Amino acid sequence: MTPRRITETKPGDWTYVSEGGATIVFSYRGPYNVQFSGHVLRLRKVVHRSSDASNNKLLNTNTEQPDDSMIAFQENIISKLVPSEFLPSLDVVLLDEEWLRSFVELHDGDRPAERRQTDQIDVHRKKGVLATDLIGGTQIAMEIKPKWGFLPLECHLSPETVALKRVTCRFCMHTCFRVKQGDVCTTYCPLDLFSRDESRVRKALRALWAGWYESGGSLNNLRFFVSGRMAKPDDDDSMKILAHFFSEDESTDTENLQESFASSLMQALVDSPVLLLLSTLQRTLDILDVEGLSKLYTQSSPDLPGDGLGSSIPDPSMEEWEDFVRVYTSDYHSWDHAAPSPGHLRHYLMAYLLSATFKDCSIIIRPRLQIPSTTQVGPARSFDTTIIDMDMKSMDRLGKWEKLDRRIAEHYKNSGNQRRCIDST
C-alpha cells in the first residue's frame, strides 16, 4: 500500500488532542477524506536546542525513523502477545517540512504552556503515524494509564529493598517521591485496579477521579475527552456531558459524579480481559526486577564498561525481537528464573524493555454504540477497550531506570510512609 501524504490535507484540518513526553496527537476534522477521516496523526517531538543534549539525541533520530519501527513493532511483536481486537490500526504517513512548519505555527498555541517551554514538533521528520481515532467519532472517551500491576518476587531483591518492595508497589513509592518534588498527590494504587475485585476496582476508579479532579486534569493516569477534546474539571459543559453518561440523575455534583463514574466503569473493567493480560505480561517479562537484572548483567558482563545497566549493549533488531517472542511464548516460562542463566542475559534485558512498554501503555475506554432499536436508559454500562502507546524502548534507558529505582526506594525508606499494596496473584 502506498503511504499517504500529509500534504493531501491542510494544517487547519487537524485538531490538537493530547501529548506525552515524546509524541503529540492531532485528530482529523477536515472534509471527508477516505485516507484520513477517522484517524489521528501522531508526530514526534524534539526538545528545544537549549535543553539537554541526550534528550535531543533520543527524540531527534531521523536516520532511524522510529515511527516506522513503532509500526513494525506492533505488527510483528505486540500483535503476537495482544489480540488484534484490543489494538488500534497504525499506518505510515509521509510528512513535509514546509507543511509541518505551517502546522506548528497554527497549532502550537493549542498546546499546554509547560509543554511549549520544553519541546516542539520535530519539523524535520519524514514520516509520521496515522492511527485509529479512538477519541473522535464518539461524544466521550476515557484514557487510563494503569502503570505497574504487580509486586516483584522476593528472591532478587536486596536486603535494603525487600521489606519495601514486597509491601508497597512501585507506583505508590514513585508517587511519594514525586509529591516531594511538587507533584499532586494521588491515592490511586494500580494493584487495586488490576485486582479483579469489585470493591478494589471501584476504589481505584474513585482515586483516579479524585486525582484528575484535584489536579485540574494534569495527572495523566486519567483523562477525559469530550467531543474529541480533552476535558478539564473546571469546564462546566464537559462536566454536564460526563454526568449524562455516568449519572442516573445527571448530577454534576463532584462526589456524586465520582461515585457514578466508578460504578459505571467498575464492572466493565472487571469483566474485560485487558487488565489481566497487561498484568500478566508485565510480571512475567519483569521476572527479575531491575535489581536482579543488574546482578545478572554484572555477573555476565564483568569486562563491559561499568557505566550502568545495559551500557554498550546495542538495541535489538526487529529479527531479534521476533526471535524473543518465539522464545517467550515457548521456552521462557520453563527457565529457572530464581537462578537466571548468564547465557540468557540478552533475553532478560529484552524482556525488561518489553515489560516497560506494557507498564507505560494506556487504555482507551469508549461507550459501546447501542443498537438503534434498543434505546439506552440511564448511564452507559457497556464499553470497548483499546490498548495504545506501546512504543519500543531502548537499551540506553536501562541504566536510567536502575538509578531511578534506587532513588525511589531510598526516598520511600526515609519518608516514613508504610502503605500496604496487595498483589492479587
The total of structural domains in the chain comes to 2
Mean pLDDT value across residues 331-348: 95
Last residue of a domain, one of 108, 133, 158: 133
For the chain, give the percent of residues with pLDDT over 70: 91
- Does residue 95 share a domain with residue 58? yes
Kind and range of the H or E element at 386? strand 383-388
Tell me: pLDDT of 63 over 60.
no
**Residue 424, pLDDT score:** 84
The CATH number of whichever domain residue 71 belongs to comes to 3.30.200.110
343 vs 396: CA distance, rounded Å: 21
> 376: pLDDT confidence band, cut at 50, 70 and 90?
very low
**Cell, residue 27:** 485528530
Question: Chain-centre distance of CA 45, in angstroms?
Answer: 17
- Does residue 147 share a domain with residue 127? no
- Does residue 122 share a domain with residue 225? no
> 306: pLDDT confidence band, cut at 50, 70 and 90?
low
Over residues 43-58, the pLDDT tens digits come to: 989 988 744 434 444 4
- Does residue 236 share a domain with residue 98? no
The number of CA neighbours under 13 Å toward the Cβ of 275 is 28
Last residue of a domain, one of 133, 157, 188: 133
Last residue of a domain, one of 133, 162, 183: 133
Residue 364 β-bridge partners: 143, 386
- Does residue 147 share a domain with residue 87? no
> 382: pLDDT confidence band, cut at 50, 70 and 90?
confident
- Does residue 161 share a domain with residue 127? no
> 404: pLDDT confidence band, cut at 50, 70 and 90?
very high
> 305: pLDDT confidence band, cut at 50, 70 and 90?
low
- Does residue 244 share a domain with residue 185? yes
> 227: pLDDT confidence band, cut at 50, 70 and 90?
confident
> 371: pLDDT confidence band, cut at 50, 70 and 90?
very low
- Does residue 351 share a domain with residue 269? yes
- Does residue 367 share a domain with residue 250? yes
Tell me: pLDDT of 13 over 70.
yes
- Does residue 169 share a domain with residue 86? no
Over residues 145-183, the pLDDT tens digits come to: 999 999 999 999 999 999 999 999 999 999 999 988 888
| pTM listed for this prediction | 0.87
Tell me: pLDDT of 296 over 90.
yes
Q: Which of the 8 DSSP states describes residue 405? A: H
- Does residue 198 share a domain with residue 97? no
- Does residue 192 share a domain with residue 99? no
For the chain, give the percent of residues with pLDDT over 90: 68
**Residue 341, pLDDT score:** 95
Mean pLDDT value across residues 294-308: 78
**Residue 378, pLDDT score:** 53
In 3D, which of 13, 23, 228 has the Cα closest to residue 102? 13
**Boundaries of domain holding 190:** 140-425
Mean pLDDT value across residues 235-259: 86
